[in-house]
Chain A
């Protein structure tokens, strides 16, 4: 049976299994979402937005949709993936199921807990009605699919005037107890006026079995709030991830999403910013370092609808072996969005023939008093710089790594959590196959 049919057939079983009231709003949203998915189906290469990313091989697998049993892992297994030397709130999901034993949640200063609880308890009803699925909508079939099977994920609600004292880590693990598994985590994040929060998100497969994650995150950033979001994607070669993140910003807010893609068989990041007010700043940063036959597709959309907003986009890519990188950045400036500053930059290095980069930096501009630019480059390391370093006794491999590190440094510098910066530099050194013996 094809995956699409299987999913549609399982929907009723899923609905019955859950404890959701059939009269509730969430039931209606799910039903509509599955209908949308049924109409649209999975995107194919004919779809312009999916021109460079083919899901075919991914969809051929026979995924298990529901856990047959609850799986547990101990702290030592997950420790390497956790930034353990900082105090943080942790939300740990094992095969899509929340693990309260490993997690650290709170209801004190803010609600940092899980979506399943929020969906089932009446006191959250009003927030769910007002926010859930309002920006993810059913625009694309994959987020519709996620909506239809929404069950678990992070639920973060920061009230106004709150600076969350420590970062929040959201970790999704898959244990590989099933041969092929489809996970659909769903995160809902609401940040109140004048508040500040830092969030780190990671998906990790703990086995060599095949995992396909279709994640959706909705982030609401209220007036003057600041949100820093970090995505670490360094999964095994059998794991694929389609991540759709939707950010809605109100006036004077600042939202930054940083994506670090170092691994995984196929990674697709859909990142969408919607503006609902003036003087908003949106930052989109990313580094991809790929090898083997890994594939990363960064799809971003920033829609400027109000005047005096800014967006800054910076994506760097280093591609080796037969890996493929895709960058599709779209900036739309609507007629009302005068005095917009929108910058987009995409730099790529191909390490050898056989690696591929497909870039499509798009601008659609309907307002005249704007400053918009995009730049896209593809090139190599500077031979003379390499020679210079070698002539000073730095071995070629290290010299290359240093240059590549410097290439990505613009993005690394934007990380605001020092411990995270150390971890990312470590990961980069690891990817480049060097041990520099000092902290970069």
Chain B
């Protein structure tokens, strides 16, 4: 058998380039750098937004100015200079497109490189896609099929024009402008994102998907997603992200709001693969995201995330279990390598009676990276019979990385049952030996063990993503010391 040593692994890891690090040469319409009220108004004008939206943005901007950047998380980074960013960058050539054939071929090539050619998607898979490049939504597929069922799936900028009553009612209802520094910033400057509405009793026949990509340098991406599932409906929503390799740090500050009405179910899956910076820790995306969902009676929200990219991740998809018998779930795999830092977790706020929540978090750290789980389980006094199960496991590879857990449990209800457990371990030498002994080389063995470690979460992903996620895990961990 070939002698595959740890040094070989290490070398291979260092030479492992970011697969999606290409830059598409599309002419972009980019705003001057800096942020002030004029820019906010200009973004709003550009989008042809109604007055209430402009006011809403300005209000958010004023709130943002009074806020301070939070620094409580367990990550270190140079704070972005918010005046040195461009807050709007759109690929030029944006006229209403009727079919994919009209899309800039350059752009289509980008997608092909990413392995998600829209054309192919359209033919082969059953996924409706909304693609956001540098903050602007460029294509939404399957719109008509969906429209037949009464499902609205479109860029949020269009939704503001076409369904202002829905947007106005729900935007900021789960993540208010005042929520936090980045949410306020996003509210002021978001340029696009996805909007989805599932009418009463409709089960969405296909996976809805948004794909994000930061292309232009020196820009920040601020997209806003709003998903509303009306009574008794069901939707499964996917989100994917990549960015080209750059030396500078790019900023991604998104807001996702989910609203699950009575008996509705939303399944929201994310595969996040922003550029993580090179092996020296230079460059990479700052991923500061606010994601939150609200569950009404008997509703269910399930977050699944695979976090492999970004230099710094700061993300806590949360569930407010407001309705009785509502269910919140959070499944997460966070993989950090080199100098990546991730501080991620969830918040489960139990307010209604007989609410349940499950948290499964798997952290894998390698290289010089740091991986933190930070979660809150809060049970209010009247939330009787609340049930929570939390499990967070960490896997350490090498002795230069760190794994941390910061769980907060606040309980005021005597009838609740809360369990929390956490373990930290490394890949056992006996496990590796066992695999080697059966002719599986070390690298494959690591992949096998990591896959097994993450299985609980990978199983929760929709088919299309599960394959991609597994591949991503392998790429991110290839060559880590076992």
Contacts and interface: CB of A to CB of B under 8 A. Distances in A.
Interface of A: 48, 335, 338, 348, 350-380
Nearest to B406: A362
Given A375-B420, A378-B418, A353 B72 contact: no
A294 to B, nearest CB: 16
Nearest to A375: B421
Nearest to A340: B424
B384 A374 contact: no
Nearest to B394: A365
A292 B407 CA distance: 27
Contact of B414 (A350, A360, A367): A350
A350 B414 CA distance: 5
Given A353-B413, A357-B409, A357-B411, A364 B421 contact: no
Interface string B399-443: 111111111111111111111111111100000000000000000
Nearest to A379: B417
Contacts of B410: 356-358
Given A363-B424, A372-B423, A379 B418 contact: yes
Given A354-B381, A364-B404, A376 B409 contact: yes
Given A370-B396, A370-B425, 13 more contacts: A348-B411, A350-B414, A354-B414, A360-B409, A362-B406, A363-B405, A370-B424, A375-B419, A377-B419, A378-B419, A379-B416, A380-B415, A380-B417
Contacts of A356: 410-412
A362 B407 CA distance: 7
Contacts of B405: 361-363, 374
A409 B396 CA distance: 35
Nearest to A320: B414
Contacts of B425: 370-372
Contacts of A370: 396, 424-426
Contacts, number: 120
Contact of A359 (B381, B384, B409): B409
A352 to B, nearest CB: 5
Contact of B402 (A362, A366, A378): A366
B205 interface: no
A364 B401 CA distance: 11
A299 to B, nearest CB: 14
Contacts of B240: none
A359 B382 CA distance: 19
Contact of A373 (B400, B415, B421): B421
B398 interface: yes
A335 to B, nearest CB: 6
Nearest to A359: B409
Given A353-B414, A355-B412, A380-B414, A338 B399 contact: yes
A356 to B, nearest CB: 5
B413 A376 contact: no
Contact of A377 (B384, B398, B420): B420
A367 B400 CA distance: 7
Interface of B: 72, 381-382, 384, 394, 396-426
7 contacts: A355-B412, A356-B411, A357-B411, A359-B407, A369-B399, A378-B417, A379-B419
A378 B422 contact: no
A364 B402 contact: yes
A368 B415 contact: no
B423 A373 contact: yes
Contacts of B419: 375-379
A373 B423 CA distance: 4
Contacts of B381: 353-354
B421 A353 contact: no
A335 B422 CA distance: 19
B313 to A, nearest CB: 18
A189 B384 CA distance: 47
Nearest to A372: B424
B404 A358 contact: no
Contact of B412 (A48, A354, A365, A368): A354
A338 B399 CA distance: 9
Contacts of B408: 358-360
Contact of A353 (B384, B417, B423): B384
Contacts of A369: 399, 426
Contacts of A353: 381-382, 384, 412-415
A210 to B, nearest CB: 27
Contacts of A366: 399, 401-402
A367 B424 CA distance: 10
Given A365-B424, A370-B424, A377 B418 contact: yes
Q: Which residue, of A351, A363, A379, has the highest number of chain B Cβ atoms within 10 A? A: A363
A141 B402 CA distance: 29
A367 B399 contact: yes
A367 B402 CA distance: 7
Contact of B404 (A338, A362, A367, A368): A362
Nearest to B384: A353
Contacts of A335: 399-400
Given A353-B384, A361-B420, A374-B422, A368 B414 contact: no
A365 B401 CA distance: 8
Q: Which residue, of A338, A350, A351, A380, has the highest number of chain B Cβ atoms within 10 A? A: A350
B7 to A, nearest CB: 17
Contacts of A338: 399
Nearest to A370: B424
A375 B420 CA distance: 5
A352 B381 CA distance: 10
A44 B346 CA distance: 26
> Top 9 closest A-B pairs, CB basis?
A368-B396, A378-B418, A376-B420, A350-B414, A359-B409, A372-B424, A373-B423, A368-B426, A375-B421
A375 B404 CA distance: 14
Nearest to B413: A353
Contacts of B384: 353
B35 to A, nearest CB: 29
